Chain A
Amino acid sequence: MIALLTRDLKLAMRAGGGFGLGLAFFLIVVTLVPFGVGPQSGLLSKIAPGILWLGALLACLLSLDRIFALDWEDGSLDLLATSPLPMEGIVTVKALAHWLTTGLPLVLAAPLFGLLLSLPPTGYAPLVLSLLLGTPALSVIGTFGAALTVGLKRGGLLLSLLVLPLYVPTLIFGAEMARRGVEGQDTTTPLLMLAGITCGTIALLPFASAAVLKVNLR
């Protein structure tokens, strides 16, 4: 499993792996928003948590089809499937690798981008915490979507149609927590709900993803 994880990480880091792509996309979203709604800092600081959450979500979505596509094309997915590692384990490692290369950089960069959107000082800790808790769920759910569409030629658009509705609960609680943090309210309830969703998806969804992947490899 560790070998698979390091292999995936190396592939993502090297040229053409699209490692920085999600981050760059996140930056562009954050840059474009003030052009769309105007540069008043009052307005920006009000919508900043929502924009940052949406940007992170879209950046995650952008890199989903890479999770299985390359391995599917060169046949290494078939090799992985015949290896002694259970399919559930493979899927989990894939999701973990996706989170480490996409989710974690987004979490780390979020305070910097919050600065660009004039996020109030009280908002940083809840924002980072909510992203840290929420992005693993995004990766795991996304892995399920990627497994569903792996065999398809025009899977990209379908993938977003399938995955975005599944992202709704995570987005609601994540953005709610960040927003409450900005307004200085109590964040315990959304925090617990978000943590619950993340734990639940990590515990259960790999089984669904593995089942789907097995069907696709049949």
Chain B
Amino acid sequence: MSLNSLWQYANPKKFIQTTEKVLPLFSVLAVVCLVVGLVWGFFFTPDDYRQGSTVKIIYLHVPSALMAINVWLMMLVTSLIWIVRRHHVSALAARAAAPIGAVMTVIALATGAIWGQPMWGTWWAWDPRLTSFLILFLFYLGYIALWEAIENDDTAADLTSILCLVGSVFALLSRYAVNFWNQGLHQGASLSLDKEENVADVFYFPLLVCIAGFVLLFVALVLLRTRTEIRARRMRALLARERMG
């Protein structure tokens, strides 16, 4: 294996050493992006002519919703890496990401409800997008609960990664099933790469900064939590060795 391969970070020691250096960088960048994006978005953009100032919740809602889905994707990728190449860091990263993803889902649901109350006149509607987010949250809960329930680390990693694969298929299936089941109240995507249906530029740029902030925050948190998991596991191994005598 060449030294420049991505897989060198599968070595826990190398991972700890590298993240030692990049973690402060990511943390600082995340804070800067979030502060700039939120302050810019909250105080230096005009109110929407129909929605008033409630529109500003977009700076929390859209990035968290984006992350809620992408965190699951990241877990899917790391689970696959664990199944195929059996790198422990990969499994631990998936484990570290799950609670963050669950929290992102809750933020997206909560901010959506807060926005929906004045705008739609209801906290909750059984709209396909809302419903599939609720289902996604349940998937996160099940995944985390399975990790917690199993004592043997390798067994837990195996089982949860298979659950993640199966869950991905079913989460996708549910997404289309709920589309079929009820008509939508939620508006279409506010962001896309082809510019035609995007939000106006005044809202667009602070939103991009906020999204960057959320991504960086997620990366920093995952690195931090993975480091914690590696150290906790190392400590358990040391304690076990002590007991053996």
Contacts and interface: CB of A to CB of B under 8 A. Distances in A.
Contacts of A168: 135, 170, 174, 177-178
Contacts of B150: 151-152
Contact of A176 (B139, B166, B180): B180
B11 interface: no
B30 to A, nearest CB: 31
Which of A151, A169, A173, A208 has most B Cβ within 10 Å?
A169
Contact of A172 (B142, B163, B177): B177
B76 to A, nearest CB: 14
A151 B151 CA distance: 10
B165 A158 contact: no
A164 B145 CA distance: 14
Interface string A113-140: 0000000000000000000000000000
Given A161-B142, A165-B135, A166-B167, A172 B180 contact: yes
Interface in A57-81: none
Interface stretch (B41-49, B116-124, B154-162): B154-162
A208 B141 CA distance: 20
Could you tell me the dominant secondary structure of chain B's interface residues? helix
Given A158-B145, A162-B146, A215 B135 contact: no
A5 interface: no
B167 A208 contact: no
A117 B166 CA distance: 36
A152 B149 contact: yes
Contacts of B174: 165, 168-169, 172
Which of A190, A205, A211, A218 has most B Cβ within 10 Å?
A211
Contacts, number: 74
A154 B177 CA distance: 32
| Size category, A interface | 20 to 34
A164 B167 CA distance: 11
A189 B177 CA distance: 12
A169 B173 CA distance: 6
A138 to B, nearest CB: 13
B170 A166 contact: yes
Contact of A169 (B139, B155, B166, B177): B177
Nearest to B136: A165
B155 to A, nearest CB: 6
Contacts of B159: 148, 212, 215-216
A211 B163 CA distance: 11
A166 B180 CA distance: 17
A193 interface: yes
Contact of B178 (A172, A189, A215): A172
B53 to A, nearest CB: 36
Which of A166, A193, A205 has most B Cβ within 10 Å?
A166
A161 B145 contact: yes
26 contacts: A144-B166, A148-B146, A148-B162, A151-B150, A155-B149, A158-B149, A165-B139, A165-B171, A166-B167, A166-B170, A168-B174, A168-B177, A168-B178, A169-B170, A169-B174, A169-B177, A172-B178, A176-B181, A189-B180, A193-B177, A193-B180, A208-B166, A212-B158, A212-B159, A215-B155, A216-B155
- Please list the 8 inter-chain residue pairs (A to B) with the smallest Cβ-Cβ separation, ordered nearest first: A169-B177, A165-B138, A215-B158, A172-B177, A169-B173, A162-B142, A168-B174, A172-B181
Given A148-B159, A165-B138, 9 more contacts: A151-B155, A158-B146, A162-B145, A165-B135, A165-B142, A166-B170, A169-B170, A176-B180, A211-B162
